[in-house]
Chains A and B, each alone.
Chain A
């Protein structure tokens, strides 16, 4: 890359239209060198379109892109040697074996035969695919395909890596392994741009996160800073039975210092900036014949922030794609 002072990825006023639909609407952000940057949003938000523009698979209608300090809006080839990409679909060659696929992808970056064979074996080992090295890609399971596709994206050890929903649709163990590998690459200094609709994944891995909804970035911040407002609140979830419809209102009258909400039948959410005292609440409910079956503190998460900022229920995000390990 050109200079240490320049961001690894810099995007200014990027816009992409498909006919009348604005897929990406005037977005700007930058990813610093060595940073793990999350791009979080529901399906159709514009995540893949953004990655495609950054890697040269789609042409922006407006805006500028700098990768590793190289202006590559009109000439994406100029920076492709710096970039690796793991697409949202496993798109290797079904006729080739795992080992051949990796060697072929290495050759696309000009790696010599001995170098690419060594690297391919090393990655097969890292992704626990050594036993399947000589099997055709067509015969791999979904999780194995995803892992090999990931390995192909990093075969040339790119300093900047674009990951498009790398854990979508794979089993828990594979997703966990992929996340560990992402964290390992980040520790070694790779700049990572990760799109995901798994909020927990973004929270666990990313240093900074941008929320994208309907093609627009609605918030970008450090993960810790995003969590601050919700961390300042104490939230208690009470599971109750035999409760009436007006329970939250009755409780609010008795405990004006707390806020009460019943979003799910049989559950009351108690929120306060002060610590919530459980004992008086339970006694109050029991005196009214309401049984308290469970009382648990709700740990603040990025999901709360996401719902707060975007107005989109987090459940909807995970339901949109076939569930897999990423969410578990």
Chain B
């Protein structure tokens, strides 16, 4: 029970203290909205293109929301040494990092629903397979958060975290099938798509929203889950190696 009091307090504190920090607002909210608007205008096909664009827009919102949040909650606290307080608490490092990342996961999930809510006013969403969308958003939130965690643990300044994040985020926009199908990519780039976790999440979203997917949903979920576990384990290892020196 005591450890869950600590878990909950860390989660609530991060949500209260960091959700409205400038890096979160600019990278986590404004940037995905601007990006979405750009694609919407560029597509030129009006309301009909909303369902086609929705998986990409949702993914950008999740990816940028979670990674921006982690850059603040982890890197900022490490820089100001307040993270040491958490390391001194009698809770396991695994639980501590789950608490630190849960806020970002929730932020990412909430971000994903913003375009869905907007789309609900503009087009008919009755054909969407929600039983696939909801777990896919959650897993994409988790995997994006753990990408953010991996980055946040590897740097020491917030601006470094944001810059390093972009090194991953921007290629993923083009390589993971968000707005262009992977099949449309040059052959030499396609293998890159399959080593990026979001490819599998985006595939589920495309399948659930307009029934176009390249892999089975089961395989997509399994691979996404494996990425979550792998990235979390890698980040924990880095924290132990780099921060508890």
Q: Are A108 and B17 in contact (CB under 8 A)?
A: no
In the assembled complex, the Cα of A271 lies from the Cα of B74 at a distance in Å of 59
Q: Are A104 and B87 in contact (CB under 8 A)?
A: no
Q: Are B81 and A96 in contact (CB under 8 A)?
A: no
Interface size on B, residues (CB 8 A): 27
Describe B's contact surface by its main secondary structure. Answer: helix
Least Cβ distance of B67 to chain A in Å?
Answer: 21
Name A111's closest neighbour in chain B (CB-CB).
B5
Evaluate whether A56 and B82 lie within 8 angstroms (CB atoms) in the complex, with A108-B9, A112-B5 already known: no
Q: Are B90 and A80 in contact (CB under 8 A)?
A: yes
Contact residues, B16-36 vs A (CB, 8 A)? 16-18
Q: Are B245 and A77 in contact (CB under 8 A)?
A: no
Tell me which residues across on chain A come within 8 A of B223, comparing CB atoms.
none
The interface-forming segment of A81-89, A256-264, A295-303 is: A81-89
Least Cβ distance of B42 to chain A in Å?
Answer: 39
Tell me which residues across on chain B come within 8 A of A18, comparing CB atoms.
245
In the assembled complex, the Cα of A91 lies from the Cα of B85 at a distance in Å of 8
Name B91's closest neighbour in chain A (CB-CB).
A108
**B237: interface (CB < 8 Å):** no
Evaluate whether A107 and B6 lie within 8 angstroms (CB atoms) in the complex, with A59-B244, A87-B81, A95-B17 already known: yes
In the assembled complex, the Cα of A85 lies from the Cα of B1 at a distance in Å of 23
Q: Are A56 and B6 in contact (CB under 8 A)?
A: no
Q: Are B85 and A109 in contact (CB under 8 A)?
A: no
Tell me which residues across on chain B come within 8 A of A139, comparing CB atoms.
none
Q: Are A105 and B90 in contact (CB under 8 A)?
A: no
Name A100's closest neighbour in chain B (CB-CB).
B13
Name A82's closest neighbour in chain B (CB-CB).
B90
Name B18's closest neighbour in chain A (CB-CB).
A95
**A44: interface (CB < 8 Å):** no
**A314: interface (CB < 8 Å):** no
Least Cβ distance of B209 to chain A in Å?
Answer: 38
In the assembled complex, the Cα of A93 lies from the Cα of B17 at a distance in Å of 9
In the assembled complex, the Cα of A87 lies from the Cα of B3 at a distance in Å of 23
Q: Are B92 and A110 in contact (CB under 8 A)?
A: no
Least Cβ distance of A149 to chain B in Å?
Answer: 10
Q: Are B245 and A81 in contact (CB under 8 A)?
A: no
**B173: interface (CB < 8 Å):** no
Name A94's closest neighbour in chain B (CB-CB).
B80
Q: Are B82 and A93 in contact (CB under 8 A)?
A: yes
In the assembled complex, the Cα of A59 lies from the Cα of B6 at a distance in Å of 24
Tell me which residues across on chain A come within 8 A of B91, comparing CB atoms.
77, 108
**A58: interface (CB < 8 Å):** yes
Contact of A108 among B1, B6, B92 (CB under 8 A): B6
**B84: interface (CB < 8 Å):** yes
In the assembled complex, the Cα of A105 lies from the Cα of B87 at a distance in Å of 12
**A195: interface (CB < 8 Å):** no
**B88: interface (CB < 8 Å):** yes
**A190: interface (CB < 8 Å):** no
**A152: interface (CB < 8 Å):** yes
| Chain A CB within 10 Å, residue with most, of B18, B81, B88 | B88
- Other CB < 8 Å A-B pairs besides A57-B88, A95-B16, 19 of them? A56-B88, A57-B87, A57-B244, A77-B92, A85-B88, A91-B80, A93-B13, A94-B80, A96-B13, A96-B17, A108-B6, A108-B10, A108-B86, A108-B89, A109-B2, A110-B2, A110-B5, A110-B90, A111-B5
* 11 A-B pairs with C-beta separation under 8 A: A56-B88, A57-B84, A57-B87, A58-B245, A77-B92, A77-B93, A91-B84, A91-B85, A92-B82, A92-B85, A104-B9
Residues of A within 8 A of B (CB): 18, 55-59, 77, 80-81, 83, 85, 87, 89, 91-96, 104-105, 107-112, 152
Residues of B within 8 A of A (CB): 1-3, 5-6, 8-10, 13, 16-18, 80-82, 84-93, 244-245
Which A-B residue pairs are the 6 nearest by beta carbons? A110-B2, A107-B9, A108-B89, A91-B81, A81-B90, A80-B90
